[in-house]
Amino acid sequence: MRWMFFIAMFWAAAAQAQQLNPTGDEIDAFVLADGNKDQQLSRTEFRTFVQAMAKAGQSTARQIRFFGAYDYAFNIADADGNGILTPMEMRQADDSHRAGEGG
């Protein structure tokens, strides 16, 4: 029975990864920023992620860096308010921002 749980978790993670459709730069920046390797970003880790993405030329990250709006962007992305960002929260916030819906 336990193996079924792990298979279900694997497929859920795979489905989420397909929805995220991360770029190579996003993957590299996330791996660099995720210091404790928990697959989520704290505020400090998010700042590192944004700086890496801005350096790679990503427009949203460049805006955040230019205005020093790290906390503002983090708070918008942290949809559940738990102080940690998941890749899905980050994707949804960036997509909303690009669509003109974000803060």
pTM score of the predicted model: 0.78
Q: Check whether 82 has a pLDDT greater than 50.
A: yes
Of 62, 35, 56, nearest to 46 by C-alpha is 35
What domains, with CATH codes, occur in the chain?
A: 24-98 (1.10.238.10)
Q: Is residue 16 a contact partner of residue 60, using CB atoms and an 8 Å limit?
A: no
Of 25, 86, 89, nearest to 57 by C-alpha is 25
Select the highest-mean-pLDDT range: 3-12, 16-25, 43-52, 94-103.
43-52
| Helices 87-98 + 59-67 axis angle, to 10 | 90
Question: Which distant-in-sequence residues (6+ apart) come within 8 Å of 9 by Cβ?
Answer: none
How far apart, in whole angstroms, are the C-alpha atoms of residue 103 and residue 100?
9
